[in-house]
Structure 1
């Protein structure tokens, strides 16, 4: 009986979106960047923000957080993805969600390692040419 109640409670949590892997519903202030660009970001302490990059995993895009921010200035919350459609090959946007903490500056680098597979190092010349960083210079005032 206790086991059934525990299973029912876990299922209820998952359905409610409280279980592990649930998506963040508040992206905060969305700041868009792209490979090869540096974007200036100004925030207030306590402000949630997302660094957004267009992506399409079906063609080889694979965005990751290359450098964490100074933990006194901003903290990483999660990585989220929204697709532009249900069709195979649909592009979308990857969001890296953070919380601004205390006044200061930090740099956050996102890496698109194009067709790198499980590794984070381009293996071919084409992969090296297509890979790159989006840089965000974050200031919390």
Structure 2
């Protein structure tokens, strides 16, 4: 009797174990796909470090830097920009980085290439782009 009961339980349990393994595999595949999509969406983004917090809008800062580097970036080619993280109230805190999404990949590439000239621009010492 117990043998029959064990075989019935095992009979019901096997499909559940198989289903669980399939779902775990599918979950892993979907996580990888999400990672790939997130990396692709960040493809046209840049990070600007070292810009003092006192400067106003991050869009204006990015456009000013592009202009100083002779990169023809217009406001409609800058999708979005913002500071990263929470503001720190202490006086000696490092300024937060700015993330900007540029709609055209070639402009992003041009901006990154010209960023090596940032230290030569007065007032932009300590500012760099990744």
TM-score range, shorter chain: 0.3 to 0.5
Answer 1 or 2: which has greater helix percent: 2
TM-score by length of structure 1 reads 0.32
TM-score by length of structure 2 reads 0.34
Structure exhibiting the larger radius of gyration computed from Cα positions: 2
